[in-house]
Amino acid sequence: MAVCEGSSLVTLGIGEDEPARLGSYDPFGAVGHVHGAVWMLRSGRGLLAVDPADGTALWSVEADRKMVTDPLPYVDALLVGDANGGLRKVGPDGRTVEGCSLPGRRLDALAAAGDGGLFFAAKGTFGCFALAP
């Protein structure tokens, strides 16, 4: 998968002569693959998931707060953080399954910990906590 000029997405298949262009989208800042879909973070204000075969939209999530750049795959869902310290678990259909917040923290980044936990970076600090399915 490759992002071209911040608004086009292409896939590069092994043994393929040419990349397959999935389409043009509103400008997005990050891209990844989870549970058979390609997700894109749209200007920090929402997620769009597309079918990697043809680029059609599968689901989208609008946000009222700026989202953290790297959503993380977790069990059968996606963990999404926002700048106000909120965390939500988004299911494979784009619906929020559950959510929580880190009290008094402005969330800047998320990363997976090798033991099934979650690292977070927040204003002036960082930490880790365990996740339970």
Give the pair of three-digit tokens for residue 128.
């880790």
Of 65, 25, 74, 73, the C-alpha closest to 44 is 65
Its pTM stands at 0.69
Please write the tens of the pLDDT for every residue from 22-75.
777 777 767 777 777 777 777 657 888 888 778 888 888 887 778 876 788 877
Report how far residue 49's alpha carbon sits from residue 111's, in angstroms, rounded to the nearest whole number.
20
Region of 8 on the Ramachandran plot (φ > 0 left; ψ -120 to 50 alpha; else beta): beta
Report the pLDDT value the prediction gives residue 4, as an integer from 0 to 100: 67
The secondary structure of residue 67, as a DSSP letter, is B
The three-state DSSP-derived secondary structure of 8-24 is EEEECCCCCCCCEEEEE
